[in-house]
A and B are shown apart, each in its own frame.
Chain A
C-alpha cells in the first residue's frame, strides 16, 4: 500500500500528561469538579498549564498525598472521603465529582473506583462520583478527556431513539453552529457528549450514530460501540475538506440525499475556500514539522498539506491508533514521515537538520526554537481555540500563518540569523 511511512521511536518525551485536559473539561461542564488525587507536582502542573489564576476557586483541585498517607499512618481512603466531603460542603453546586488518578496514586495503587463507589452510596445521588486516570504513566495530554468520557459512558441512559451523537469537547459556539448545520441537512436529533451540564447526559442505544469530533477518544468510542452505537468512520472535522467529509458521513448514515448535502455545504465550502486564500498565500510551499503533543497532529497535517499547500517534513504523534486514524492516514501524501512516540533530543536534531519553516510544538520548546531562529506555533492553543468545522477553516489556517507573517514583519536584522548561539539565553 502506498501511504505515509509509519515510524516509531522512544526516549525522553516532552508532552503533557492526561491531567492537562482538565483545563478544558472543567469549563465544558461548569457543574462538575475535577479532584486530582496526587502530588504537589500534579497541582503545579495543572496550575501552570491553566496559565493564570483567574478564578478564586477553580472547579479543579488536588488532594495532595503526604508522607502520612504514604506511610500508611493515615488511611488514604478515609482521607479521600474527608477531602471530598470538605470540598462538596464548600461547593454545594457541584453535581458531578471526578476523582482523577495520577502517577503517584496509580503507583501506590490507590483504588479510586472503590472510593467513588463508596462516596456514591454516601451521597445518595445528590452528587455523582466517577473516577478515571489522567496519570502520565498511562495517558498523554488529550487522552485525559478520553478517560473522563469513558468513565461517564456507563452512566448514559439507554434509548433506541434515532440520533446523532457528537462526541468530544467542542467550543460552545462551534458546537451550536455544527448542530445548526446538521439540522439544515435534515438530521433532527443531535446531542453532544460531554454535555454542557454534567447531569444532562445523553441517552444511548442502537439508534445512535456517533461522530467523533476529536481524534483522541479511542476508549470512549469502544465503550459507546459496546453500548450499541454505530461509530462513523470519517476524517476529523478540521479544515473545510475534513469537516465536509465528516458531515457527509453523518448525512449518508441518516440517508440525507446527496443533493441536499451539496446544497447546504457547497456555499460553505466556497466561502471557506475564500477565507483560506490569504493564508494559503503565506503557507503554500512552506515546510512544516509537527512534534507530538495534542494527538491532533495527523488531521492538522492533512489540512495543512491538502488545503494550505504546505509540505510535511515530519508528523509526530504521541501514539497512533491506525484504525481510528485510517481515514486521515489515507489522505496524507505517500511517503510522509509519521513518527509515533518521541525521543525529544533526536527529534530536535531532525528539526535542526531539516530547517522547516514552521514547527508545531509544546510551550517548553517554542521559545528555545524561536531563539534558534525557527518559527513555531505552540500546540496547546489548538485545543483551546474554536477550530472545528468548515466555517472555522480560515481561523485554523490563521493560527499557522500568523507566526510566519509575524516573522516577516519583524526586522530580521534584529535577530542574528543562522547564529549557532541563541542570543536570549
Chain B
C-alpha cells in the first residue's frame, strides 16, 4: 500500500484509452464500474475534444457481482459493435474488473465477431498510464499485422532508391494527451518534406485499421515518443526487419542528429550541419547579446523521460544554462535519464512522489523550473518561474496556436517559452531595484503574485525549514539590508551560502562584510 496525494500518471487503462481515442474506427470495451467514466473528461476537457472517447464501459454494480458479469461483458461488446461498427475492437478491464477475473478479452474473442479483437491485459496494480499506452499500441500492431509477418524478416530501408519513388517513413508514437503531439506531427512532416522524405502513416494519432496494416510498406519507422512507441517499433523491427530512429528531434542539436540518423538509415546524404542555424532562430537568439544574462541560469528539470532528456540537452548545449536537477517520474525511462544526468555530473531523481520532487527542487535552488503541471505548482509555491515541458498537463498546455516541441520551429517555441519566464525574472529584478524610486507606484503587482516583486522571495517561502537550524546565527541589520539588495530569486542561495560560510569560519554574526567574504569564498 502506498500513500499517494497527487499522481503523475493515471492507471494503465487510461493509456489504452489514449491509443483508442487517437485512432479512427477503433472502439474500446472497458469492463469497469460506474465512476471510471471520469477518464472521458481528460479528453473532452483537457484536450477540448469535441468527440467522446470511443469507449463503452460495462458499468457493473455491486448487485451484478453475484450474477453473471461475463454475460454483461458480452452484452456490451455486442451493443458496442452494433452501434459503433468499428473496424477493430479493443477489450480490456480496469482495476476493479481485474479482481473479478472475467477475462473480457478472451470472452470477446470467443464471440465470433466479424472484426479483429485485441485483448488487453494491463495489470492495474503494478503498471501505469504510459506503460498501458505502450502495451496497447504494441498489441494493436501485433493484432492487426501478425498475419502479414514474413517467415524471415527481410527489409531494405534503401529499397526506395531502386523503386523509383521517394523514401517513405512512418511516424509512430503521437497520441492524445501526449505533450504537443498534434503540433509535433505537423512540424516533423514539414521537416521531412524539406528533405524529400514522405510520411506513410502517422500512428496512433489519426490512424485507422487500414493505416496500421500498411505500416510495413514504409522504409522505416520514426519513433517520436519512446514512452508510447518504442516497444511497437522494436516489434516491427524484429518481425518485419524495419529499422527505426532512436533520436527524438527536440532541440536544434537533436533535430540535426535525428536527420543524420534518418538519412543514414535511408542511404541518403546527411544534411549540412548549418541547416539548424539557418532554419531555427534558437541558435542566433541564444548567441545574441540580449541572452547574455541567461548564462549559467540554474535549471531544474523534471518530466517524462523523453522531454526531460531533451530539455537537459537543450539547456546545457543550446541555452548555456546550468542543469542543477534532472529527473523523471517514469521508471521505464530511468536508465536513459540516469545516463543523461551522469553526463551532466549530477544524479538523476527517479520518483513519482511529487513532494520528493518539490523537496529536491527547493534544495537545488533553481532559477527556472522545467517540469509538468505538478512542478508548475511546486515552483509557484517556491516563487521560481516555471515552464511546462511534459505531461501531466492541464488545459492551458494545449494551446490554440500551433506550438510544437520538435524540429526547427519546436526549438523556436522552446526558446520563447523557457526564456519568457526568465525575462520576467529579470523584470522582477528591475522592479525590485527601482521600487524605492519616487516614480514607482506602490502596490505594483508582480506576475508571481505574493511571492515576487515585493522583495518576498524564495528565501522566505523556504523560511520554515531553514530557520531552526540557523538559530545559532544572527543577521545584523546591515547584513539583512545587504541581502535585500540581492535579486529575490537568488537571495535564498546567497543566504544559505553566507550562513554555511559563517559556520565554517566560526562566526556567529552575519554582517554585510560576512556576505562579501562569503561571496569571495564561493567564487574563488
Instruction: Fill in one digit per residue for B1-41: 1 if any A CB lies within 8 Å of its CB, else 0.
Output: 11111110111011000000000000000000111111111
A368 and B49 form a contact (CB under 8 A): yes
> B61 interface residue, CB < 8 Å from A?
yes
Given A15-B37, A364-B52 in contact, is the A63-B45 Cβ separation under 8 Å?
no
B42 CB contacts on chain A under 8 angstroms: 48
Flag if B7 contacts A12 (CB, 8 Å).
Answer: no
List chain A residues, Cβ under 8 A from B34.
13, 15, 17, 136-137, 140
Tell me which of A15, A64, A135 contacts B1 (CB under 8 A): A64
A347 at the B interface (CB under 8 A): no
A61 on the B face (CB < 8 A): yes
Nearest residue, chain B, Cβ from A318: B34
- The total number of A-B Cβ pairs within 8 Å is 199
Interface status of A87 (Cβ within 8 A of chain B): yes
Contact: A53 with B6, CB < 8 Å? Answer: yes
Do residues A137 and B61 form an inter-chain contact, with CB atoms below 8 A? yes
Asked whether any CB of chain A lies closer than 8 Å to the CB of B238, the reply is no
> What mask results when residues 1 to 21 of chain A are scored 1 for a CB within 8 Å of chain B, else 0?
000000000011111111110
Q: Which of A74-82, A146-154, A162-170 sits within the interface?
A: A74-82
Q: Tell me how many residues of A have a C-beta within 8 Å of chain B.
A: 70
B145 interfacial by beta-carbon distance below 8 Å: no
Verify A15–B52 contact, CB threshold 8 A: no
Chain B, 237-271, CB within 8 A of any chain A CB: none
Q: Is the CB of B48 within 8 A of A424?
A: yes
In this complex, the member of B3, B62, B358 whose beta carbon has the largest number of chain A beta carbons within 10 angstroms is B3
A107 in complex: contacting residue of B41, B99, B355, B377, CB < 8 Å:
B99
Chain B's nearest CB lies how many Å from the CB of A92? 15
CA distance A45 to B36 in the complex (A): 8
Q: Are B65's CB and A40's CB within 8 A?
A: no
Q: Is the CB of B35 within 8 A of A44?
A: no
Q: In whole angstroms, what is the CA distance A48 to B373 when docked? A: 13
- Tell me if A362 and B95 are in contact (CB < 8 A): no
- Decide yes or no: A362 and B125 within 8 Å by CB, A43-B7, A136-B36 being known contacts: no
Chain B residues with a Cβ closer than 8 Å to the other chain, count: 58
Least CB distance, A119 to chain B, in whole angstroms: 14
Distance in Å from the Cβ of A163 to the closest Cβ of chain B? Answer: 36
Contact string, A66-106, partner B, CB cutoff 8 A, digits 1/0?
Answer: 11011000101001101100110000000000000001101
B95 and A366: CB pair below 8 A? no
- The reply to whether B378 and A56 contact each other, CB–CB distance below 8 Å, is yes
**Nearest chain A residue, comparing its CB with the CB of B57:** A12
| B361 CB → nearest A CB, Å | 12
Q: Assess the A16–B35 pair: CB atoms within 8 A.
A: yes
Q: How far is the CA of A82 from the CA of B3 in the complex (A)?
A: 10
Nearest-CB distance from B177 to chain A (Å)?
11
Q: Are A67 and B59 neighbours in the complex by a CB distance under 8 Å?
A: no
* Per-position 1/0 for A256-272, Cβ under 8 A of B: 00000000000000000
Q: Does A111 reach chain B (CB closer than 8 Å)?
A: no
Q: Is the CB of B50 within 8 A of A64?
A: no
Please name all residues of chain A whose beta carbon is closer than 8 Å to the beta carbon of B3 when the two chains form the complex.
Answer: 61-64, 83, 86-87
- CB-CB < 8 A to B355: which residues of A? 56-57
- Interface membership of A410, Cβ < 8 A: no
Cβ-closest chain B residue relative to A69: B1
- Which residues of chain B come closer than 8 Å to A367, judged between CB atoms? 44-45, 48-50
Residues in chain B near residue A45, CB distance under 8 A: 35-36, 38
On whether the beta carbons of B50 and A136 are closer than 8 Å, the reply is no
* Closest beta carbon of chain B to A171's beta carbon, Å: 23
List which A216-266 residues lie within 8 A (CB) of chain B. Answer: none
Among B35, B99, B100, point to the contact of A19 (Cβ < 8 A): B35
Query: Does B38 contact A48, Cβ atoms closer than 8 Å?
Result: yes
Interface string of A338-381 (1 = CB under 8 A from B): 00000001000000000000000011111110111000000000
- Inter-chain contacts of B57 with A (CB < 8 A): 12-14
Q: Are B5 and A14 in contact (CB under 8 A)?
A: no
Q: In the bound complex, do residue B1 and residue A79 qualify as a contact, i.e. CB atoms below 8 Å apart?
A: yes
Using A41-B10, A64-B4, A364-B41 as known contacts, say yes or no to A12 and B48 having CB atoms under 8 A apart. no
Question: Given the complex of chains A and B, what is the CA–CA distance between A313 and B340 in angstroms?
Answer: 60
Known: A57-B355, A137-B60. A49 touches B38 (CB 8 A): yes
Q: Which B residues are in CB contact (< 8 Å) with A414?
A: none
At the interface, yes or no: B220 with Cβ under 8 Å from chain A? no
Contact (Cβ within 8 A) B373 A76:
no
The answer for the CA separation of A365 and B62 in the assembled complex, in Å, is 25
**A173 beta carbon closer than 8 Å to chain B:** no
Contact B40 A14 (CB under 8 A): yes
Task: Kindly identify which residue among A80, A137, A363 contacts B44, using a CB–CB cutoff of 8 Å.
Answer: A363
Taking the complex as formed, is A409 at the interface, i.e. its CB lies under 8 A from any CB of chain B?
Answer: no
Known: A57-B355, A106-B62. A63 touches B2 (CB 8 A): yes
By beta carbon, the residue of chain A nearest B378 is A56
| A9 to B407 alpha-carbon distance, docked (Å) | 52
Q: Known contacts A39-B95, A424-B49: does B4 contact A366 (CB below 8 Å)?
A: no
Chain A residues packing against B (C-beta within 8 Å): 11-20, 37-41, 43-45, 47-49, 52-54, 56-58, 60-67, 69-70, 74, 76, 79-80, 82-83, 86-87, 103-104, 106-108, 135-138, 140, 345, 362-368, 370-372, 422-425
Closest A-B pairs by Cβ, 3 of them: A17-B35, A371-B50, A136-B35
10 sample A-B contacts, Cβ–Cβ < 8 Å, listed by A number: A20-B38, A66-B125, A67-B123, A87-B3, A135-B33, A136-B96, A137-B34, A137-B62, A363-B45, A367-B44
